[in-house]
Amino acid sequence: MLVYTLKRLGLALLVTFAVSVLSFALLYLSGDPAAAIAGETANADDIEAVRLHYGLDRPLVVQYGEWMFNAVRGDFGESYYFKLPVSQLVAERLSVTMLLGICGISFALLTAVPLGVAAAVRPNSLVDRIALFLSVMGQAMPSFWFGLVLIVLFSIKLRVLPPSGSDSWQNFVMPTIVLGYYAMPAIMRLTRAGMLDVLGADYVRTARAKGAGEFRVMFKHALRNAIIPVVSLAAVQMGFMLGGSIVVESIFALHGAGYLAWESIGRNDLPTVQALILVFSMFYIVFTFLSDLLNAWLDPRMRVG
């Protein structure tokens, strides 16, 4: 287990490194950072002064090294736009995104798992059809459009939910549904498939033969086994969702990290975008790392691979 953990950790670190290089390089191409910092009224001399002051005239490798060295210590530099430390900005906005992510994944799990179980228990029944229908819909619905439809319905026609902002719990209802619905189909399908597998397995049949109650069979034996891959999928989906929250946040004007990212791209706010790409990637890397560990711990066969 230790060897496996270390190996996975090594891979995770290597991936982090690669992502950091990519995000640094990618955004370095986006025009002259010195001109961006110097601002709208600067002339060529101002820009040159800024270049020297921020050390933007040094070789890229040196600049990357410095950026990474500071980033590891949580210092992502200063936002070109707000002139505030990027880490402070990102930390402020991240709480909203995290909350949204947790709500979203909870919503997805709370709808997908029961539906998946119900669908597996009675394949081809009405429940199964409904579950399939919902998941097919969910995969085909553009999330930005779904969000707008919800706004029309709940904020404009029914006027029961606020269309934007992040001040109260009501602001999170629609974004949660939109974001959660995005992750739901995959979880539902996996739960259903897992349950179908498990329900046909020997030990479930044995349990039934021994006269265990249907409820007990379902939850004690079947679901417990079927849920393992679901948990790891949920972890991965959570990583994706945080990255995907950019669309949802921009529709509902939730002042989260995704919204900040979108705005910062438009404002050429290089340090903020770099930090956000790295942070979102880190979420994915950490979540998949944890889910791999969890899987390996639950299922020793995995540790070999």
Partner 1 sequence: MKQILKGAGIFALAMAAAGTAAANKADDTLNVAFSKELENVDSYYNSAREGVILQRSIWDGLVYRDPYTGEYQGNLATDWQWVDDKTLEFNLRQGVTFHNGEPFDADDVVATVNWVADEKNGVKTQRNVNWMESAEKIDQFKVRIHLKAPFPAAIEYLAGPVSIYPNEYYAEAGPTGMGLNPVGTGPYKVVSVEPGKHFVLEKYENYHKDSPKGQANIGRLDIRTIPDFNTQAAELFSGGLDWIWQVPPDQAESLTAMGGFTVANESTMRIGYLQFDAAGRSGEDNPFTKKLVRQAISHAIDREAIVQSMLQGKSRVVNSACFPSQFGCEQDVKTYDYDPEKAKQLLAEAGYPNGLEIDFYAYRDRSYAEAMLGFLEAVGIKSNFKLLQYSALRELNMKGEVPMSFQTWGSYSINDVSAIVSQYFKLGSLDSAQDKQVKEWLDVADSSVDSEERKEYYSKALKKIAEEAYWLPLFSYNSNYVFSQDLEYAPTTDAIPRFFQMSWK
Partner 2 sequence: MANTTETMNTVAPKVEPEVLSSPTPRQILLTKILGHKGLMFGAIVLLTIFLMALFAPLLAPYDPYHQDLMHRMIPPVWDAKGSWENILGTDHLGRDYLSRLLYGARISLAIGAIAALISGIIGTSMGVAAGYFGGRVDACVTFLINVRLAMPVVLVALAVVALFGGSLQVVITVLGLLLWDRFAVVMRSATLQLRSMEYVTAAKAIGCSTKRILFSEIMPNIANSLIVIVTLEMAHAILLEAALSFLGLGVQPPTPSWGLMVSEGKQMLLFQPWMIAIPGVALFILVLAINLLGDGLRDVSAPENRN
Q: Which residues bind partner 1 (CB under 8 A)?
A: 31-32, 35-36, 39-41, 43-44, 81-84, 89, 99, 102-103, 106, 109-110, 113, 151, 155-156, 159, 162-165, 167-170, 172, 227, 251-253, 255, 263, 266-268
9 lies in the binding site for partner 2 (CB under 8 A): no
- Name the segment binding partner 2 (CB under 8 A); options: 66-74, 142-150, 171-179, 199-207: 142-150
CA of 63: how far to CAs of 6, 14, 60, 231, 248, in Å?
30, 20, 5, 40, 34
Question: Exactly one of 149, 165, 170, 300 binds partner 2 (CB under 8 A); which one?
Answer: 149
Give 136's contacts (C-beta < 8 A, 6+ positions apart): 185
* Binding positions for partner 2, 25-64, rule CB under 8 A: 26-27, 29-30
Give 116's contacts (C-beta < 8 A, 6+ positions apart): 131, 187, 188, 189, 190, 191, 192, 194, 195, 230
Q: Minimum CB separation from partner 1 for residue 163, in Å? A: 4
The distance from CA 183 to its chain's CA centroid, rounded to whole angstroms, is 10
Nearer to partner 2, 23 or 166 (CB): 23
183 near 241, Cβ under 8 Å?
A: yes
* Binding positions for partner 2, 120-139, rule CB under 8 A: 136-137, 139
Q: Minimum CB separation from partner 2 for residue 253, in Å? A: 13
What does the DSSP 8-state code read for residue 78? B
- Pinpoint the alpha helices (H) of the chain: 2-28, 33-38, 44-53, 60-72, 86-121, 126-140, 143-150, 173-199, 202-209, 214-216, 224-252, 257-266, 270-298
Question: Exactly one of 4, 5, 11, 118 binds partner 2 (CB under 8 A); which one?
Answer: 11
Categorise residue 269: left if φ over 0, alpha if ψ from -120 to 50, beta otherwise. Answer: beta
Question: Exactly one of 2, 61, 156, 304 binds partner 2 (CB under 8 A); which one?
Answer: 156
Cα four-point dihedral sign 230, 233, 239, 245:
negative
96 lies in the binding site for partner 2 (CB under 8 A): no
Question: Exactly one of 32, 53, 74, 145 binds partner 2 (CB under 8 A); which one?
Answer: 145
Residues contributing to the site for partner 2 (CB under 8 A): 11, 14-16, 18-19, 22-23, 26-27, 29-30, 136-137, 139-145, 148-149, 151-152, 156, 242-244, 246-247, 250, 258, 261-262, 265-266, 273, 276-277, 280-281, 284-285, 288
